[in-house]
Structure 1
């Protein structure tokens, strides 16, 4: 006894690293193969397959009565799937929701959730269920030797390794799953399209993805929302097995309002309304006045968005909502499945369908071989019955009188063991029914069936024809029209902050010390505003609250500030340096507001300049952007607004009393730079600042040009201007005596 206890036991020594690696890899393979990823054959994950099989074992076919869902879940977790009941029930609920599955497998009675809240289903003790008719496509051939079987978790029962699906259910219903280190996201598709593509692959085994896409346009979700992904992108997804599909809600105009009648896949209408309402409360949707949810039984989705007026651009408003709410969603596509080789992998569309066709060929071959074996066994038995019929009196005598009737029958009539058992198993009343014509008729029918089966099994063409015919029948019975239509639309674009701001008239004011503020209205006299001690008015610009204000500094840089963000003119404003970051020592020399297409004439007092669009002056950061390059010693002139008129002229005056007038079109339109010569000032005189550009104006040929020189004013009409007209860049002609020191040019009122 003591020796037994002292015998050393065999042990295996493993390092923690090796043990941890092995344990994690084993767990990973379990999750990948037995939990998260679907099989290409039936398109189901293990829990889904076990639910469908358990329901069929309970007799819950589509023609049966409903049974409590708790009964089904109990069978699933007790016999096949040793996991939580809530996980099994949720998987079952998903297969019953017609807004989640393109072709539901479970027919539910009771509360199974709604498209608005898929998780609102009742507990399994309240709901009842059975299989749908479509489930027959997965189960119809199960008992015909078509698939392999495996022991359940405790070895007490057998369960199918995969169901003998008669269509590519993997693509029809799609699935999602997260494994270890990999995931799958397969969208649902239209049955008719998938069957047509499969038939095409049967006829042309080398068919490309492009050829198959001639039949499968795109995924087909269980919603009438629109797929906006381009056909080229869809084909790329099917080629690589990865990508994303974009969907947006379907809407229409109705009495000036927007009516949403279909939402993207798995999008909640109440959540969309919450998102829109939140934007309205944040004053980011000033064009919307009301929201209504008018959904009912006849219209499961009917959301109404009422604009504030009939002038609202509904297309632009919907584009903004598509970009900022769940009215447009992207769905990841990752065609990662367990293939016929038992390994997971991302596959292209043609690889998926080829794998399924291979699976279907194997399934049909096994079905035919199983049936052929049954036919041959029955023919063998019929041969024995025929012998019994022809010698019925002798057979009855042997059965009545012999001690070993089976052995005697086999010896007397050369019967096999099976034939003898079949004769002995006949009831007495059936002996009279053993009529020769009936036996020979059944023999003939079964012989014809045997010949047909053997012919099909030996011919690849006949096998293909059989599979094609069965696919056509299924498409005819279960197929329907596409629900998710493909549309070509522009990319959704959200409104900018400025576009959402009301267009109120504003007067922007900058003081000499660089303080800025904005007053509502255009009738403000900025000089009468209150300024800080030692400060005063410098310049102002008229614009609107939904426009941008651009400040021009002494170095030729432009800075942008949204007008609606400027402090009110009721106070004294705030320093510009708190909003922007100009170079040290720079001063502010210009102020502009306007639309993006409005133009301004920018110039230096050295006599160079160009015309710039307002959009080119808008900067994206606090440091601004360099716009006007200054010649040596030159300073910035205040920007001059260009009116939106025809036949505009430029008037330029220098400190020497010279005036030059020419068409504005002679100056270039640039985004930045030094520009061209506006008026001819000798370089040496400009650098020494002996002569400078002092007056600059853009006006029309019907305006009266006024030259200011101190308190004196000279008004020049069209006829007076001819003396000063010349080519751009010339010196210009001298003004009359008394106007040698020009202080500015304005348009006379």
Structure 2
């Protein structure tokens, strides 16, 4: 490698690192680095823990280097119900509300988090297959990406800006994303379910053009001098809307307003008598600037993890995701076959020892070494290989276990493994069967209550 090539590769790696940690999600699991680490440390924990304890653990495990404040913010946003259609972390305590989606997140010393059921069902699949890599100093392992059942990058909405790149991905409903994934799996020409959706907001969505949408809040005319605003578009905070109303008061375009917003948006606005007589709802929305336009830009870290790609059509991303995920079903069944073959081999060793009359010699071995020598002699003669750890398992079997009943159990075990191996081989040989497994898991996902 030349010096110039080295510099180019190093610069590219650093650029991708900056994008993936700060702004651009990975296409495989829809996560940025800090989010992935938080979910990774929670995935095998059934208990709850303080938010600040999880952020501290991210640093303690040497998997996150950007400080506790950044980690706390990452965890809080993953658990915030008004920032996610389906939160991947279950928050216990105050994690925001409609009035204050982010500002209302409690201090990390007062809130607790735990593994979410949605994450178990969608994100934490095939954990034994998740590819790992060294952390920054080689002292620990971290996931390259998870293996979710759905293209998670389209579920909760993501925005971010890094040097040279920015992304603005709109959220979709869980039900719609399942439908889109099923359509792609079935090879449908039209992918349904990809309309933007804000789960806990009463927002009207109107498509304008390719990847362009208009989001509208809600307002109603109570009488000829009173209007009520009951929803704001997603890009408008309550605080900014209040400032807008104060400016209207000062300009005398409204008389006054009363903000009764607590768990939901509820603002009463007073006008001069009869002012709203000829108004309708569309005019009211325009007056309060409760319509906003948004252009979606699906910019993600590519499948190879070393470049950035832009999808002009979210449906194509779903199709690509399904093909990528199907490849991991092949990997799953290959591993199942390998693990089953390994376990079957142990039981074949036991059968071989039974057939060779090994049980008659039990109790005659003065030490473990001579017993191991006899087992090695029998297995070599029968041309049965002994894999790592299997000799210890055989030698550790209590003498009372070597009975006729146990011999029958050995035969049943081997028959069961043979049936499993035949099933795995049949599935691996037929792409339709692999698709059927994926389709079945997507159907199960429809039962998920979030």
Please give the TM-score of this superposition, normalised by the length of structure 1.
Answer: 0.54
Task: Map 1:244-259 onto structure 2 (within 5 A).
Answer: 244-254=212-222, 257-259=226-228
Once the two structures are TM-superposed, the CA of residue 223 in structure 1 deviates from its matched residue by: 3.5
Once the two structures are TM-superposed, the CA of residue 168 in structure 1 deviates from its matched residue by: 1.5
The unaligned stretches of length 5 or more in structure 2 are: none
**1:103/1:172 contact within 8 Å kept:** yes
**1:42/1:138 contact within 8 Å kept:** no
Change (3 A) 1:295 1:434: farther
Change (3 A) 1:22 1:376: closer
The unaligned stretches of length 5 or more in structure 1 are: 1-11, 238-243, 480-749
Structure 2 partner of 1:305: 269
**Structure 2: distance between partners of 1:22 and 1:375:** 41
Q: Does 1:112 align with 2:81?
A: no
Structure 1 partner of 2:49: 67
Q: Does 1:28 align with 2:10?
A: no
Secondary structure, counterpart of 2:293 in structure 1 = strand
Q: Does 1:279 align with 2:248?
A: yes
Secondary structure, counterpart of 2:446 in structure 1 = helix
**Structure 1: distance between partners of 2:398 and 2:23:** 53
Change (3 A) 1:313 1:445: farther
Q: Deviations over 1:151-205 (max 9, x none)?
A: 111111111100111222111112112122011111110122122122112221x
Once the two structures are TM-superposed, the CA of residue 311 in structure 1 deviates from its matched residue by: 5.9
Task: Map 1:323-402 onto structure 2 (within 5 A).
Answer: 324-325=288-289, 327-342=290-305, 343-347=307-311, 348-389=313-354, 391=357, 393-397=359-363, 399-400=365-366
**1:106/1:132 contact within 8 Å kept:** yes
Q: Does 1:263 align with 2:240?
A: no
Secondary structure, counterpart of 2:167 in structure 1 = strand
TM-align CA RMSD: 3.0
Q: Deviations over 1:692-726 (max 9, x none)?
A: xxxxxxxxxxxxxxxxxxxxxxxxxxxxxxxxxxx
Change (3 A) 1:255 1:155: same
Change (3 A) 1:55 1:433: farther
**Structure 2: distance between partners of 1:273 and 1:477:** 38
**2:257/2:270 contact within 8 Å kept:** yes
**Structure 1: distance between partners of 2:338 and 2:8:** 48
Q: Does 1:216 align with 2:216?
A: no
Task: Map 1:548-627 onto structure 2 (within 5 A).
Answer: none
**1:31/1:179 contact within 8 Å kept:** yes
Structure 2 partner of 1:229: 206
Once the two structures are TM-superposed, the CA of residue 392 in structure 1 deviates from its matched residue by: 5.2
Structure 1 partner of 2:377: 411
**Structure 2: distance between partners of 1:445 and 1:255:** 75
More strand per residue:
1
**Structure 2: distance between partners of 1:399 and 1:19:** 63
Structure 2 partner of 1:460: 431
Q: Does 1:102 align with 2:89?
A: no
Structure 1 partner of 2:70: 87
**Structure 1: distance between partners of 2:167 and 2:322:** 21
Greater CA radius of gyration, 1 or 2? 1
**Structure 2: distance between partners of 1:24 and 1:420:** 50
Secondary structure, counterpart of 1:336 in structure 2 = strand
Change (3 A) 1:201 1:398: farther
Secondary structure, counterpart of 1:173 in structure 2 = coil
Pick one of 40, 43, 56 that aligns with 1:56.
43
More helix per residue:
2
Once the two structures are TM-superposed, the CA of residue 420 in structure 1 deviates from its matched residue by: 3.8
How many pairs are equivalent? 438
**Structure 1: distance between partners of 2:221 and 2:53:** 48
Structure 1 partner of 2:283: 319
**Structure 2: distance between partners of 1:431 and 1:329:** 76
Secondary structure, counterpart of 1:477 in structure 2 = coil
Once the two structures are TM-superposed, the CA of residue 373 in structure 1 deviates from its matched residue by: 1.3
Task: Map 1:623-662 onto structure 2 (within 5 A).
Answer: none
Secondary structure, counterpart of 1:81 in structure 2 = coil
Q: Which has the higher contact order (CA 8 A, sep 6+)?
A: 2
**Structure 1: distance between partners of 2:361 and 2:394:** 9
Once the two structures are TM-superposed, the CA of residue 363 in structure 1 deviates from its matched residue by: 2.0
Structure 1 partner of 2:109: 125
**Structure 1: distance between partners of 2:73 and 2:242:** 27
**2:219/2:284 contact within 8 Å kept:** no
Change (3 A) 1:323 1:85: farther
**Structure 2: distance between partners of 1:229 and 1:167:** 25
Change (3 A) 1:399 1:424: farther
Once the two structures are TM-superposed, the CA of residue 218 in structure 1 deviates from its matched residue by: 1.3
**1:147/1:363 contact within 8 Å kept:** no
Pick one of 133, 150, 174 that aligns with 2:133.
150
Once the two structures are TM-superposed, the CA of residue 122 in structure 1 deviates from its matched residue by: 2.9
Structure 2 partner of 1:195: 178
Pick one of 420, 424, 439 that aligns with 2:410.
439
